[in-house]
Amino acid sequence: MEPAGMDYFCDQVQQKDVGRRMQVGQELLEYLSDPARSSDLEQDQQRLDKVIDELTGWVNSSNFKVALLGLDVLGAFVDRLSGRFKPYIGTVLLPLIDRMGDAKDQVREQAQNLILKLMDEAAPPM
pLDDT at 44: 86
Tell me the pTM.
0.92
Provide the CA 5 distance to its chain's centre, in angstroms. Answer: 15
Provide the residue range defining the domain that includes 83: 6-121
In this structure, are residues 88 and 52 in contact, taking their beta carbons and an 8 Å threshold?
Answer: yes
**126 occurs within a structural domain:** no
pLDDT band at 1 (very low <50, low <70, confident <90, very high): very low
Nearest-angstrom CA–CA distance, 96 and 120:
16
Number of domains in the chain: 1
pLDDT at 4: 67
Domain CATH number, residue 110? 1.25.10.10
Please compute the mean of the pLDDT values over residues 34-46 and round it to a whole number.
86
Concatenate the DSSP letters of all residues of 3-45 into one string.
--SHHHHHHHTT---HHHHHHHHHHHHHHHH-TTTTTTTTT-H
Q: Tens digit of pLDDT for each residue in 53-109?
A: 999 999 999 999 999 999 999 999 999 998 899 999 999 999 999 999 999 999 999
